[in-house]
Structure 1
Amino acid sequence: MTTFADLNLHERLIKALGELEITTPTPVQASAIPEALAGHDLRVVARTGSGKTAAFMLPLLHQLLQHSRPRTDTRALILLPTRELAQQTLKQVEALGRYTFIKAELITGGEDFKVQAAKMRKNPEILIGTPGRLIEHLEAGNLRLQDLEMLVLDESDRMLDMGFSDDVLR
């Protein structure tokens, strides 16, 4: 039986997983994590509750830890269709990254635009947000993506169903 330690994840991530009492990867995690760690682009389709978020989040955090780049702009962008999903993803980043110095910020509609702009000026490594609000920040010059290394389109089918295809493509 494969464990997270067998997947060669950073020791700080293994420590967080242990504290969360998560030791064995789900099937989607066991197949996706090694491919993501090898630098491959992935398209993953799995049921709700299968562990998809950790399947992309653990390799993303591992990459940021392995290749520290202080004083850069955002290095990872996670797009989701709704504020609720974005909030859930931020909670998972905070739980899995609890023993790291990696900063993540949430950028969604319904929150103060100027406060979000100030958060982005602090150069969080990870931005989690919805397409519409991120486009607004891009147009206002607040969103700088020149240092972007990783892009995650979570629930992409739902974003397309909700009419975000032009925003996602942009």
Structure 2
Amino acid sequence: MSTDEKHRSAWLPPRWFIRAAWWVHRRLYAAGGTRFLRRPRPDRAGMLRLTTVGRRTGQERSVILSYVPDGSTYVTLAMNGWADPPPAWWLNLKATPEALAETVDGPRQVRAHEAIGPERERLWSLLAAADDGWGELDDFAARRSHQTPVVVLEVAEPTS
């Protein structure tokens, strides 16, 4: 099987299904708070709630993201269900990199940046090793017209 055939064979659910799942997840997390977040394990990504400031509205916006830890930082992918457009939370972070990340260990102020070069390659491998949450990274990323940003959330300090 050629590389192109392999990339095309990576199955994704229909877009309507992904959007419906996001809607359900947002409602569950809104109702349950951090109870539904999970701690990462060596074989599984964790889940955190990231609260950004809307670049247009100035209002707080929250989203649940899969992440892997890298020392004291959280690493995630700026993807929109593998669709081509960037997710709104990433556009918000590009405008205002300061945000709040809530994990099972509590809330932390973070500052975001996009990993590039060797840092990106190292973190991409780290994300690919957590075999749930993203699936076959290289296969799905090949569906996009641009490189998927690897986002590093550097912990500033715990909040009260």
More helix, by proportion? 1
Flag whether TM exceeds 0.5 (same fold): no
More strand, by proportion? 2
TM-score relative to the length of structure 2? 0.31
